[in-house]
A = this chain, B = another copy of it.
Amino acid sequence: MSGIAIGQAGGPTAVINLSVIGFLENLSSNRPVYSVMNGYEGLAHDYIVPLQGELIKRVHRSRDLPGACLGAGRFPMDEEKIEMSVRNLAKKNITTLVFIGGNGTMAALYHISEMARKLNIPLQVLGIPKTVDNDLAETDHAPGFASSAKYVAYATRDISYDLAAMSNFEQVRVIETMGRNAGWLALAAGYLKRQEQEGPHLIYVPEVSIKKDRFLEDVGNAVKEYGTATVVVSEGTVFEGQGQVQQAEVKGRSVLGGVSFQLKEMVNESLGYFTRVEMLGMNQRSSSLAVSAQDRQEAYEIGQMAADFINEGKTNVMVSIKRGPGNIYQYEYSAVPLHKVAHTGERLLPYEYLYETNNYYEWLSPLISTDYSQVNSIDVKNDFFSFGGIL
C-alpha cells in the first residue's frame, strides 16, 4: 500500500505536536505512515523515516511539550529541491504528503503539488495551519496563536505592574513581541488592561510606522500622567521612512529584533528616563505555562480533521477554521485551496481592530480565555491606547 508522510516546518509553537497526534489518532487506513524529519530539509534530502518505534514514542511524549517532535526549522526551497522532494516521496511509494506550517510552508506545498502534476507523479497534498503571528491567510486564526497571545497579554500586564512598583528607580519598559509584518501579537498585549493607569500605555505594530517625535511626546506624557510607561512594539515595526531592524541574517532569512533597543536609546537620550528592554523571546511561542485550553483543543482537532480530509481524498487544500457569526464562539473546519493561501499574502490587522481595539479583544477572548472565567466577566476597556502615528 502506498504511504502517507507528515512533517512540521517553520518556527514551532506550544501546541503544534498535538496536531501530529490528532492526525495520527484519526487516520482510518492501514497505509504505512512516514515522518519527514526537520521540515523541508528532510523532504529535499530524503530524511523520511517510518513513524514507528522510538519516534512514535517521542511523538506521544510530546503531547504537552513545545517545539516540534518531528523537527522543523527553516529551509529555502527552490525548483530543484522541490523536484528532489517529489522524487524522494515517489521512491518510497508515498502518495500523500501532509505538512504543518505557516504561509511559507503552504506556498511550498502548493509548488510541490504543481511539480508532481508536471512530473505526472500521483501526490495528494494537504496543509495543517500553525502560526504564532496570526498572519496566515484564509483562516480565522490557526493553532499556536492563541497561546502566544495569552503569553503576551499576561507578560505585559505583569511587567507593567512590576514597573509601577519600581517607579522611583525606572520609568519605562519597552516590550518587544514577535510579528514580522502583522501586529496581532503586539496588540494582544492590551487584552488584560482594565484601568487607564495600567500598562500597556503605547503599542506599536508593523501596520503603522513610528513617528519619532510623536513617540517621545507620548512616552513623556505617559510618565507624567502615570509615573511609568509600558511600551509594546512588534519586532517588525518600522520608523517612518525606514526599514525593519534586523539582528542577523541566517540562510538568507533576516532575523528581526532590536527595534526596542532603538526606542530605549531614544528615550534615554531625549527624556533621560531609565529604560529597560524586555524581549519576550522564544518563550512567547513555546511557553507551556501559557497554553490556552481552546488552543490545545483546536490544535488536536485540526489534525483530526486533516486525517478526515485525507481519508475523503481531498487534495491541494489547507484545513481552515471558520468562525460563525454572533457573540457565542462557534467554529467549524473547512478545506481552502492551497493556491489561495499561497497567493493571498500575509494577513494584517484589519482597520476596525486597530482603531477600535475592543473589537479585537472581543474576537480574541474565546481563543485565550475559555479557561479564565474571571477574564470573561470583565468588560475589556482599552480605548485609551495611543497608536504611534495614528491618533
Contacts and interface: CB of A to CB of B under 8 A. Distances in A.
Interface of A: 8, 11-12, 14, 38-39, 41, 65-68, 71-75, 151, 154-155, 157-159, 161-170, 173, 248, 250-251, 253, 255, 274, 276-283, 285-290
Contacts of A287: 154-155, 158, 289
A96 to B, nearest CB: 23
A155 B289 CA distance: 9
B288 A166 contact: no
Given A72-B165, A168-B38, A159 B250 contact: no
A154 B282 CA distance: 12
A154 B288 contact: yes
B162 A286 contact: yes
A75 B168 contact: yes
A282 B162 contact: yes
Nearest to A39: B168
B165 A8 contact: yes
7 contacts: A67-B161, A67-B164, A71-B168, A73-B167, A73-B169, A162-B286, A250-B274
Contact of A73 (B11, B71, B168): B168
Nearest to A62: B161
Contacts of A282: 158-159, 162-163, 173, 276, 278
A165 to B, nearest CB: 4
A331 B14 CA distance: 36
Contact of A162 (B38, B165, B285): B285
Nearest to A289: B289
Given A278-B283, A288-B154, A67 B162 contact: yes
B38 A167 contact: yes
A55 to B, nearest CB: 14
B74 A158 contact: no
A308 B54 CA distance: 57
A166 B276 contact: no
Nearest to A67: B161
Nearest to A161: B67
Q: Considering the complex of A and B, which 5 residue pairs feature the smallest CB-CB distances, nearest first?
A: A67-B161, A68-B165, A73-B168, A162-B286, A67-B165
A288 to B, nearest CB: 5
Contacts of A68: 165
Given A66-B158, A155-B283, A12 B166 contact: yes
Give the residue among A73, A165, A250, A278 with the most B Cβ atoms within 10 A: A165
Contacts of A286: 158-159, 161-162
A299 B279 CA distance: 29
Given A158-B66, A161-B66, A279-B281, A11 B166 contact: yes
B281 A12 contact: no
A69 to B, nearest CB: 8
A169 B71 CA distance: 11
A281 B176 CA distance: 12
Contacts of A67: 158, 161-165
